Chains A and B, each alone.
Chain A
């Protein structure tokens, strides 16, 4: 684009071999509508490296058995691989103990688990739950359901027009009645990185636990749950280059121990009689039924893959990619960025004058560029900006400067078609 960007390209290329990385992702090597695929919908779901695909394939080819029950070799192998994945997740987010890692179907289920288990046993009429205006629906609706069930009240921290939380409002809303704070670490529709450490410290100063929604943060940055000192942390496997249908709830052991089970059956049971059921210890207390064993093993493989590259290197590369994309977007007449926080992860949401996001989505798709158009399951964010929908390009570490150029060229094509 210009000499500055060429310099950045050269700089990044020397430290981060994106061409090599792209070869690890088979799906990226294809054409759509006759053009090479540019996949920029990573906030919706990420592509899977060969290592993950092969781990799932190998499980079903060689080791498929149920876990924790069998006395036969396959079951022992499946159990070992499943529990190894738990240790990998523990290390990845630096939990104190692997029993604090609960496998669930996804971030949404993890939040529902906390709402229904922790929330129902700890909240009562008049208590307050504090969330933010930029939450994903999955970090709004479970709390609304809990409020219906307990008589608790939902309070919402607003954000400013750049998409940054109004921290003075947070401090004003946080009070003695606040029994839980639930906050997204990285906004999926704005890209904002929230000051969760500051939020956690303020909440803890008055004894309020904090749940952090890390669905969009763990794919983009190193996360240390002990350094954050969050009480709960949720993540989604499929946004972390792992299979769909698997996710993680991290909780401090003392909290999880005190919580009642969420679902009954399977591994969560120690003994059952018709008079009394004894529940299993952590983490099995919260893993009812046969879990997504292959998915968990795939998640372990994804973490191995990410560890080999290094989350710091990924974050640094994506940051430069976002800077490049932001500069390109700002040079595009008629394009307005939605979400321009100082601290951002690699998400670029935007509007183009006179072209609805859905029309953009279709035209960009024809140029081979896959983006998301819509409300991104954050309708309150759309209401804040008074729009029905935005277009969103969300980057992963396998995206390139060329992908950004293709995006910009496709937007130009859409403007040409619409006579803008």
Chain B
């Protein structure tokens, strides 16, 4: 039996209660909407990219603690990153939340979401923000979904 505290760590409650970078961005260079059709969670991710570097990133979301905390932690992890690093970061995050490899070591604070792996029904909550981020970077104007 997995411990529920592996999923709901204090850091996750903290980011759920006080999400970082939770705001609209008027002068975003990239934005995309995301939707999880299974639970109705909605998110918008905003990015300001200059010279291939993510200068600013924010989000607005209605979702569960896992999806809100994931979005909040994601925005913290992305600031100052080069765009070409993002895909690798998402790859590591996806691996951490879905398979047994030791990807979490490279993910810093994002590793608090490792517990999601034991809850297959909740993986989509944790990855919604990331799917939306990729859609924003690809200038994909269709709503990103977890499906």
Instruction: Give me the interface of A with B, judged by CB distance under 8 Å.
Output: 33-34, 355-359, 362-363, 366, 373-375, 379, 382, 388-389, 417-419
Answer whether residue B88 sits at the interface, using C-beta atoms and an 8 A cutoff: no
Interface CB pairs A-B, < 8 A, 18:
A33-B1, A356-B63, A356-B65, A357-B64, A359-B66, A362-B7, A362-B119, A363-B8, A366-B4, A373-B39, A375-B39, A375-B40, A382-B40, A388-B41, A389-B39, A417-B4, A417-B13, A418-B65
CA distance A373 to B38 in the complex (A): 10
B64 contact set on A, CB distance < 8 A: 356-359
Cβ contacts B35-65/A at 8 Å (1 or 0 each):
0001111100000000000000000001111
B17 contact set on A, CB distance < 8 A: 419
CA distance A148 to B42 in the complex (A): 29
CA distance A374 to B36 in the complex (A): 11
- State the Cβ distance, B11 to closest chain A Cβ, in Å: 14
Cβ contacts B95-119/A at 8 Å (1 or 0 each):
0000000000000000000000001
A379 contact set on B, CB distance < 8 A: 40
- State the Cβ distance, A355 to closest chain B Cβ, in Å: 8
Q: Are B125 and A358 in contact (CB under 8 A)?
A: yes
Report the nearest B residue to A361, measured CB to CB. B121
Answer whether residue B122 sits at the interface, using C-beta atoms and an 8 A cutoff: yes
- Scan residues 1-52 of chain B and give those whose CB is less than 8 A from a CB of chain A: 1, 4, 7-8, 13, 17, 38-42
Instruction: Give me the interface of B with A, judged by CB distance under 8 Å.
Output: 1, 4, 7-8, 13, 17, 38-42, 62-66, 119, 121-122, 125
CA distance A301 to B74 in the complex (A): 53
CA distance A115 to B103 in the complex (A): 51
Given known contacts A359-B66, A388-B40, A389-B39, A34 and B125 CB-to-CB distance under 8 angstroms? no
CA distance A373 to B7 in the complex (A): 18
CA distance A375 to B41 in the complex (A): 10
A357 contact set on B, CB distance < 8 A: 39, 64
B13 contact set on A, CB distance < 8 A: 417-419
Mostly, the A contact residues are: mixed
Report the nearest B residue to A366, measured CB to CB. B4
B119 contact set on A, CB distance < 8 A: 362
CA distance A379 to B4 in the complex (A): 29
Given known contacts A33-B1, A362-B122, A418-B65, A374 and B40 CB-to-CB distance under 8 angstroms? yes
Q: Are A388 and B42 in contact (CB under 8 A)?
A: yes
Q: Are A417 and B39 in contact (CB under 8 A)?
A: no
- State the Cβ distance, A34 to closest chain B Cβ, in Å: 5
- State the Cβ distance, B14 to closest chain A Cβ, in Å: 10
Report the nearest A residue to B121, measured CB to CB. A362
A417 contact set on B, CB distance < 8 A: 4, 8, 13
CA distance A357 to B17 in the complex (A): 16
Q: Are A358 and B39 in contact (CB under 8 A)?
A: yes
Q: Are A388 and B39 in contact (CB under 8 A)?
A: yes
Question: Other than the known A33-B1, A358-B39, A359-B8, what 6 A-B pairs have Cβ atoms closer than 8 Å?
Answer: A356-B64, A362-B119, A362-B121, A379-B40, A388-B39, A417-B8
A373 contact set on B, CB distance < 8 A: 39
- State the Cβ distance, A305 to closest chain B Cβ, in Å: 31
Q: Are B39 and A374 in contact (CB under 8 A)?
A: yes
- State the Cβ distance, B19 to closest chain A Cβ, in Å: 13
The 7 closest A-B pairs by CB, nearest first: A388-B40, A356-B64, A358-B64, A366-B4, A359-B64, A359-B65, A389-B40
A34 contact set on B, CB distance < 8 A: 1
- State the Cβ distance, A218 to closest chain B Cβ, in Å: 27
CA distance A382 to B13 in the complex (A): 25
